[in-house]
């Protein structure tokens, strides 16, 4: 994969899991990285680690459901590094698992606010910065296999991830003529804090059964494997890919 020297990558939800691995992957390819999340200590630690390896990084606390936070996040990227080339809209939460008849309205709003509205706000301000820069760019939204598949007690999460398909294809149509590509990546079961919490909810036996019988590779993915797919979608090697979905899931959706 070609280097990304002097390019600037912004990653939301960068404090752990796929977001953290993605920031490290961009930095390893020479990009300057902007880390955004709500957990400042974790962000500061990651900045130090990237800089210790010779990379360049900056961090800003961001709640992607708040427009002013997102606007400041993008402004910080441009003010710090002078441009914005890549953006990965990864921030997301699973929310409360509950039957739709029991799901509080405020919980629905919280999940949709971060997972779907947050992606919209990021796209809004990221695209403005890229258009103003005049050198194109690439944006990757992070969905899930639940962008296609529903499950009981997950209505808010699943609806938010389904919504990313329509958001991605629509914004791709808007921005492609200006040289900005927008794609969606939909990981399957990945060894992240979120999936460890899911294991705790459904239990080890059922979780392992799914891995053994529904995932072709018979294992969970690693965050760095998803990160490599994201970096590929942003790279010049993916120059003719936009408005589409990449599903690194070990074959999970093929079995279902």
CB atoms closer than 10 angstroms to residue 25: 26
Where b means 16+ CB within 10 Å and e means fewer, 7-22 reads: bbbbbbbbbbbbbbbb
DSSP state of 116: I
Q: Is 157 considered catalytic here?
A: yes
C-alpha 188/C-alpha 248 separation (Å) is 6
Q: Which residues contact 20 (CB under 8 A, 6 or more apart)?
A: 14, 42, 46, 223
> Alpha-carbon Rg of the chain, whole angstroms?
17
Instruction: Give the Cα separation of 204 and 186 in Å (integer).
Output: 23
* DSSP code, position 114: I
C-alpha dihedral sign at 162, 249, 123, 108:
positive
Choosing from 125, 157, 207, 240, the catalytic residue is 157
Identify the DSSP state of 220.
P
Which residues are within 8 A (CB) of 23 and not within 5 positions of it... i.e. 6 or more apart? 9, 11, 14, 33, 35, 46, 50, 57
Which of the residues are catalytic?
157
């Amino acid at each position: 994969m070609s280097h990304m020297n002097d390019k600037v990558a912004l990653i939301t939800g960068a404090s752990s899991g796929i977001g953290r691995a993605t920031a490290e992957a961009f930095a390893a390819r020479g990009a300057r990285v902007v880390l955004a999340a709500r957990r400042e200590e974790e962000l500061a630690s990651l900045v130090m680690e990237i800089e210790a390896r010779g990379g360049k990084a900056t961090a800003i606390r961001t709640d992607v459901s708040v427009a002013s936070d997102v606007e400041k996040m993008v402004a910080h990227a441009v003010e710090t590094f002078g441009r914005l080339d890549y953006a990965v809209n990864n921030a997301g939460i699973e929310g409360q698992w509950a039957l739709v008849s029991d799901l509080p309205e405020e919980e629905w709003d919280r999940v949709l606010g971060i997972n779907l509205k947050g992606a919209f706000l990021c796209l809004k301000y990221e695209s403005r910065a890229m258009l103003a820069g005049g050198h194109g760019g690439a944006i990757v939204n992070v969905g899930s296999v639940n962008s296609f598949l529903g499950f009981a007690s997950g209505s808010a999460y699943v609806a938010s991830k389904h919504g990313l398909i329509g958001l991605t294809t629509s914004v791709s149509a808007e921005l492609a003529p200006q040289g900005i590509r927008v794609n969606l990546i939909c990981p399957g079961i990945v060894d992240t804090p979120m999936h460890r919490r899911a294991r705790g909810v459904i239990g080890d036996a059922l979780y392992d059964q799914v891995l053994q019988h529904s995932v072709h590779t018979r294992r969970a993915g690693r965050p760095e494997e998803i990160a490599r797919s994201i970096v590929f979608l942003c790279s010049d090697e993916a120059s003719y890919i936009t408005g589409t979905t990449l599903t690194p899931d070990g074959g999970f959706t093929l079995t279902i």
